[in-house]
Amino acid sequence: MPQVVFNGPSGRLEGRYHHSTNPDAPVALVLHPHPLQGGTMNNRVTHTLYRAFAEHGASVLRFNFRGVGCSEGTFDNGDGELSDAAAALSWMQSINQGSRPLWVAGFSFGAWIAMQVLMRRPEVAGFVSVSPPTNLYDFNFLAPCPVSGMILYGRNDDIVLEETVDRLVAKLNAQKGITIDYRVIPRADHFYTNDLEKVYQYTVEYVASFKDFNMVAHPVCVVNG
């Protein structure tokens, strides 16, 4: 069921969903960058994260926030988008009954939303945060951060400041029981123009360290588009 439509708080939301052939597979939600700056679920970084989870064992959804593509509603400065993400998680859980590891991932604005989601959903087991916009949004809500995860950053990013990401990573790593796998890609820009395969590789390497992932690719099942 590659193309899906489900109900959100302000109307229908469109998405792309890959359902794993493994009935015990983890479930992953991938969130796209800023809607008012051209961000959609088809963003290349978002799609790369989606591909990494889908090709390596997870049931995974990416979707358009309200007002993007065919999703109904209008941009809501983050509050509504957080509600959209919560609705997306609930939709995935409704078709993946039982206790499964739940993951969230996001790029830029989507990373900010994803990390708020993990604070509100105790069933989240891990996260992948790509270029979290730490100089543009407040991340103080991660006090304490409930789960460990991975943060990726491109050293040539001209939108997100490296020192602010460094401070967030240090703050999280100082929390009891939390370990952040922080990976900096030396020549990558904010959009990972020439480094998407590094995003893919590092995401796969990280999730492969968790026993719940079936790290066997299923290329015939991968959603296109």
Spans of all domains in the chain:
3-221
Pair of tokens at residue 212: 């719940």
CA angle 4, 6, 12 (to 5 degrees): 110
* pLDDT one-digit tens code per residue, 46-77: 999 999 999 998 999 999 999 999 999 999 99
Do 36 and 43 touch, CB atoms closer than 8 A?
no
Distances in Å between the Cα of 7 and the Cα atoms of 2, 13, 15, 92, 147 are 17, 6, 11, 12, 28
Task: Determine the pLDDT at residue 220.
Answer: 33
DSSP 3-state of 31: strand
Task: Determine the pLDDT at residue 214.
Answer: 55
pLDDT surpasses 90 at 118: yes
Task: Determine the pLDDT at residue 100.
Answer: 83
Number of neighbouring beta carbons within 10 Å of residue 25: 22
Looking at domain 3-221, its CATH superfamily turns out to be Alpha/Beta hydrolase fold, catalytic domain (3.40.50.1820)
CA distance 10 to 104: 22
Task: Determine the pLDDT at residue 218.
Answer: 41
CA distance 195 to 210: 24
pLDDT surpasses 50 at 215: no
Tell me the angle at which helices 196-208 and 44-54 cross, rounded to the nearest 10 degrees: 30
Paired strand residues for 141: none
CA distance 67 to 74: 4
pLDDT surpasses 50 at 3: yes
